Amino acid sequence: MKINFFKYEGSGNDFVIIDNRENKISIESLFIKNLCDRKFGVGADGLITLEGNRDVGFSIRHFNSDGEQSSFCANGSRCLVHFAKYLNLFDNEISFLSNGKQIIGSVQNEVVSITMPDVCNIKTDQNGYFILNTGCLHLVVFSENLKDVDVNYLGSEIRNLKEYQKEGINVNFVEILENNISIRTYERGVENETLSCGTGVVASVLATIEKGYKIKSSVQVQTLGGVLNVSWKKNNDEYHNILLSGPVSLVFQGQLVL
Protein backbone atom coordinates (compact mmCIF):
# COMPACT_ATOMS: atom_id res chain seq x y z
CA MET A 1 0.00 0.00 0.00
CA LYS A 2 1.23 3.49 -0.87
CA ILE A 3 0.35 6.48 1.32
CA ASN A 4 0.96 10.09 0.35
CA PHE A 5 2.80 12.19 2.91
CA PHE A 6 3.63 15.90 3.16
CA LYS A 7 6.66 17.35 4.93
CA TYR A 8 5.93 20.74 6.52
CA GLU A 9 7.83 23.21 8.65
CA GLY A 10 6.67 26.08 10.82
CA SER A 11 9.60 28.29 11.92
CA GLY A 12 11.86 25.25 11.74
CA ASN A 13 9.54 22.94 13.68
CA ASP A 14 9.03 20.15 11.13
CA PHE A 15 6.32 17.55 10.73
CA VAL A 16 5.19 14.75 8.47
CA ILE A 17 1.47 15.18 7.69
CA ILE A 18 -0.77 12.37 6.42
CA ASP A 19 -4.35 12.74 5.21
CA ASN A 20 -6.09 9.95 7.12
CA ARG A 21 -9.70 11.01 6.60
CA GLU A 22 -10.43 7.60 5.07
CA ASN A 23 -8.74 5.77 7.98
CA LYS A 24 -6.38 3.94 5.66
CA ILE A 25 -3.56 3.53 8.14
CA SER A 26 -3.23 2.44 11.74
CA ILE A 27 -0.83 4.65 13.67
CA GLU A 28 1.60 2.69 15.84
CA SER A 29 4.53 3.86 17.93
CA LEU A 30 7.24 2.01 15.98
CA PHE A 31 5.87 3.36 12.69
CA ILE A 32 6.10 6.93 14.03
CA LYS A 33 9.63 6.47 15.37
CA ASN A 34 10.85 5.04 12.06
CA LEU A 35 9.08 7.73 10.04
CA CYS A 36 10.52 10.60 12.11
CA ASP A 37 14.04 9.18 12.26
CA ARG A 38 16.39 11.68 10.55
CA LYS A 39 18.80 8.98 9.38
CA PHE A 40 16.52 6.11 8.35
CA GLY A 41 13.16 7.81 7.79
CA VAL A 42 11.66 11.01 6.41
CA GLY A 43 12.83 12.90 9.49
CA ALA A 44 10.65 15.18 11.61
CA ASP A 45 9.88 16.48 15.09
CA GLY A 46 6.53 14.70 14.87
CA LEU A 47 3.71 13.15 12.84
CA ILE A 48 0.32 14.78 12.28
CA THR A 49 -2.75 13.08 10.83
CA LEU A 50 -5.86 14.78 9.49
CA GLU A 51 -9.09 13.01 10.47
CA GLY A 52 -12.86 13.50 10.00
CA ASN A 53 -14.86 15.37 7.36
CA ARG A 54 -17.09 18.40 6.86
CA ASP A 55 -20.14 16.60 8.29
CA VAL A 56 -18.65 15.42 11.59
CA GLY A 57 -15.93 18.07 11.75
CA PHE A 58 -12.20 17.90 11.19
CA SER A 59 -9.71 16.84 13.82
CA ILE A 60 -6.01 16.15 13.96
CA ARG A 61 -3.76 13.88 15.97
CA HIS A 62 -0.21 14.87 16.80
CA PHE A 63 2.54 12.44 17.78
CA ASN A 64 6.03 13.30 18.96
CA SER A 65 9.02 11.66 17.31
CA ASP A 66 9.27 9.21 20.23
CA GLY A 67 5.98 7.66 19.06
CA GLU A 68 3.80 9.03 21.84
CA GLN A 69 0.72 11.20 21.26
CA SER A 70 1.15 14.74 22.54
CA SER A 71 -1.43 16.83 24.38
CA PHE A 72 -1.22 19.68 21.85
CA CYS A 73 1.14 21.15 19.27
CA ALA A 74 0.72 24.74 18.12
CA ASN A 75 3.24 24.78 15.27
CA GLY A 76 1.92 21.41 14.14
CA SER A 77 -1.61 22.82 14.16
CA ARG A 78 -0.43 25.78 12.09
CA CYS A 79 1.11 23.40 9.57
CA LEU A 80 -2.15 21.44 9.45
CA VAL A 81 -4.09 24.63 8.66
CA HIS A 82 -1.78 25.29 5.71
CA PHE A 83 -2.27 21.67 4.58
CA ALA A 84 -6.06 21.96 4.84
CA LYS A 85 -5.90 25.10 2.71
CA TYR A 86 -3.75 23.18 0.21
CA LEU A 87 -6.55 20.57 0.06
CA ASN A 88 -9.15 23.36 -0.44
CA LEU A 89 -11.02 22.33 2.72
CA PHE A 90 -11.88 25.93 3.66
CA ASP A 91 -12.02 29.47 2.28
CA ASN A 92 -11.47 31.98 5.10
CA GLU A 93 -10.94 29.98 8.27
CA ILE A 94 -11.19 26.42 9.53
CA SER A 95 -12.32 25.10 12.90
CA PHE A 96 -10.97 21.76 14.08
CA LEU A 97 -10.11 19.71 17.14
CA SER A 98 -6.42 19.31 17.88
CA ASN A 99 -6.12 16.47 20.38
CA GLY A 100 -9.41 17.57 21.95
CA LYS A 101 -8.80 21.33 21.83
CA GLN A 102 -10.98 23.52 19.60
CA ILE A 103 -8.75 25.56 17.30
CA ILE A 104 -9.58 28.13 14.63
CA GLY A 105 -7.01 28.72 11.92
CA SER A 106 -6.57 31.00 8.93
CA VAL A 107 -4.03 31.59 6.17
CA GLN A 108 -2.97 34.91 4.65
CA ASN A 109 -0.24 34.53 2.06
CA GLU A 110 2.17 32.13 3.78
CA VAL A 111 1.40 33.36 7.31
CA VAL A 112 -0.76 30.97 9.32
CA SER A 113 -2.57 32.03 12.49
CA ILE A 114 -4.30 29.87 15.07
CA THR A 115 -6.25 30.55 18.23
CA MET A 116 -4.72 29.13 21.40
CA PRO A 117 -6.33 27.75 24.57
CA ASP A 118 -6.98 30.23 27.38
CA VAL A 119 -4.30 30.22 30.05
CA CYS A 120 -4.63 30.76 33.80
CA ASN A 121 -3.15 29.43 37.02
CA ILE A 122 0.45 30.42 36.22
CA LYS A 123 2.75 29.37 39.06
CA THR A 124 6.43 29.29 40.02
CA ASP A 125 8.19 26.24 41.40
CA GLN A 126 10.72 26.04 44.24
CA ASN A 127 13.45 27.29 41.90
CA GLY A 128 11.45 30.33 40.79
CA TYR A 129 10.82 28.86 37.32
CA PHE A 130 7.44 29.69 35.80
CA ILE A 131 5.10 26.73 35.22
CA LEU A 132 2.09 27.07 32.94
CA ASN A 133 -0.06 25.10 30.53
CA THR A 134 -0.52 26.57 27.04
CA GLY A 135 -2.04 23.37 25.67
CA CYS A 136 0.83 21.35 27.10
CA LEU A 137 2.97 21.88 30.16
CA HIS A 138 5.87 24.35 30.01
CA LEU A 139 8.58 25.60 32.33
CA VAL A 140 10.21 28.97 31.63
CA VAL A 141 13.72 30.01 32.71
CA PHE A 142 15.00 33.55 32.12
CA SER A 143 18.56 34.06 30.90
CA GLU A 144 20.75 37.07 30.13
CA ASN A 145 22.97 35.26 27.59
CA LEU A 146 20.75 32.88 25.68
CA LYS A 147 23.32 31.98 23.04
CA ASP A 148 25.61 30.55 25.74
CA VAL A 149 22.98 28.30 27.34
CA ASP A 150 23.54 24.55 26.93
CA VAL A 151 19.89 23.88 26.16
CA ASN A 152 20.19 20.14 25.64
CA TYR A 153 22.05 19.56 28.91
CA LEU A 154 20.07 21.93 31.14
CA GLY A 155 16.77 21.19 29.43
CA SER A 156 17.23 17.46 29.93
CA GLU A 157 18.26 17.96 33.56
CA ILE A 158 15.13 19.99 34.35
CA ARG A 159 12.78 17.85 32.24
CA ASN A 160 13.95 14.75 34.15
CA LEU A 161 13.65 16.19 37.66
CA LYS A 162 11.67 13.84 39.88
CA GLU A 163 8.58 16.08 39.94
CA TYR A 164 8.44 16.30 36.13
CA GLN A 165 9.91 13.00 34.96
CA LYS A 166 6.73 10.94 34.73
CA GLU A 167 4.54 13.36 32.74
CA GLY A 168 7.39 15.31 31.19
CA ILE A 169 7.68 19.05 30.74
CA ASN A 170 8.93 21.35 27.99
CA VAL A 171 11.73 23.68 29.08
CA ASN A 172 12.09 27.19 27.61
CA PHE A 173 15.05 29.51 28.05
CA VAL A 174 14.13 33.16 27.47
CA GLU A 175 16.10 36.36 26.97
CA ILE A 176 14.36 39.74 27.01
CA LEU A 177 15.62 41.98 24.21
CA GLU A 178 14.96 45.65 23.51
CA ASN A 179 11.99 45.19 21.18
CA ASN A 180 11.20 41.49 21.32
CA ILE A 181 11.84 38.19 23.09
CA SER A 182 14.29 35.45 22.18
CA ILE A 183 13.63 31.84 23.13
CA ARG A 184 15.19 28.37 22.89
CA THR A 185 13.23 25.25 23.79
CA TYR A 186 13.96 21.70 24.91
CA GLU A 187 10.92 19.61 23.93
CA ARG A 188 9.69 16.54 25.75
CA GLY A 189 8.85 13.73 23.35
CA VAL A 190 11.53 14.93 20.96
CA GLU A 191 13.99 14.89 23.91
CA ASN A 192 16.15 17.49 22.25
CA GLU A 193 16.28 21.18 21.43
CA THR A 194 14.00 22.06 18.52
CA LEU A 195 14.26 25.07 16.23
CA SER A 196 10.88 26.34 17.43
CA CYS A 197 7.97 25.46 19.71
CA GLY A 198 4.66 27.31 19.33
CA THR A 199 3.26 26.49 22.75
CA GLY A 200 6.66 27.36 24.22
CA VAL A 201 6.64 30.74 22.49
CA VAL A 202 3.23 31.53 24.00
CA ALA A 203 4.32 30.25 27.42
CA SER A 204 7.43 32.42 27.31
CA VAL A 205 5.48 35.56 26.42
CA LEU A 206 2.98 35.03 29.24
CA ALA A 207 5.73 34.23 31.75
CA THR A 208 7.50 37.44 30.70
CA ILE A 209 4.35 39.41 31.54
CA GLU A 210 3.96 37.58 34.86
CA LYS A 211 7.56 38.40 35.72
CA GLY A 212 6.68 42.08 35.44
CA TYR A 213 8.19 43.08 32.11
CA LYS A 214 6.21 45.66 30.17
CA ILE A 215 5.61 44.38 26.65
CA LYS A 216 3.06 45.22 23.98
CA SER A 217 -0.06 43.08 23.62
CA SER A 218 1.29 41.91 20.27
CA VAL A 219 4.94 40.88 20.38
CA GLN A 220 7.45 39.16 18.14
CA VAL A 221 9.39 36.19 19.46
CA GLN A 222 12.69 35.12 17.92
CA THR A 223 13.29 31.36 17.75
CA LEU A 224 16.20 29.53 16.14
CA GLY A 225 13.90 28.73 13.22
CA GLY A 226 12.37 32.15 12.67
CA VAL A 227 10.02 34.75 14.11
CA LEU A 228 6.54 34.10 15.52
CA ASN A 229 4.02 36.68 16.69
CA VAL A 230 1.83 36.39 19.79
CA SER A 231 -1.13 38.60 20.68
CA TRP A 232 -3.48 38.26 23.63
CA LYS A 233 -5.91 39.89 26.03
CA LYS A 234 -5.90 39.59 29.81
CA ASN A 235 -8.86 39.65 32.16
CA ASN A 236 -7.94 39.41 35.84
CA ASP A 237 -5.62 36.38 36.01
CA GLU A 238 -6.71 34.76 32.73
CA TYR A 239 -5.17 35.21 29.31
CA HIS A 240 -7.62 34.80 26.44
CA ASN A 241 -7.97 35.60 22.73
CA ILE A 242 -4.41 34.32 22.33
CA LEU A 243 -3.34 34.25 18.69
CA LEU A 244 -0.14 32.63 17.40
CA SER A 245 1.01 33.63 13.90
CA GLY A 246 3.96 32.95 11.65
CA PRO A 247 5.17 31.51 8.36
CA VAL A 248 4.56 27.91 7.31
CA SER A 249 5.88 26.12 4.23
CA LEU A 250 5.40 22.83 2.44
CA VAL A 251 8.94 21.44 2.14
CA PHE A 252 8.28 18.38 -0.02
CA GLN A 253 5.86 15.52 -0.55
CA GLY A 254 6.23 11.86 -1.37
CA GLN A 255 4.84 8.36 -0.90
CA LEU A 256 5.31 5.84 1.88
CA VAL A 257 5.33 2.19 0.85
CA LEU A 258 3.70 0.20 3.65
Active site amino acids = 73, 197
Give the separation between CA 256 and CA 146, rounded to whole angstroms.
Answer: 39
CA 2 to chain centre: 28
The stretches of 47-150 forming alpha helices (DSSP H) are: 74-86
The β-bridge relationship of strands 249-257 and 46-53 is unpaired
Residue 242 near residue 221, CB atoms below 8 Å: no
Q: Using alpha carbons, select from 53, 199, 10 the residue that is nearest to residue 117.
A: 199
Evaluated on CA atoms 103, 89, 50, 159, the torsion sign reads negative
Asked if residues 139 and 131 have their Cβ atoms less than 8 Å apart, the reply is yes
Cβ 101 vs Cβ 117: under 8 Å: yes
The residues pairing with 247 across neighbouring beta strands, listed in sequence order, are 111
Would you say 63 and 71 are in contact if contact means Cβ atoms under 8 Å apart? no
**b (16+ CB within 10 A) / e for 84-117:** bbeeebbeeebebebbebebebbbeeeebbbbbb
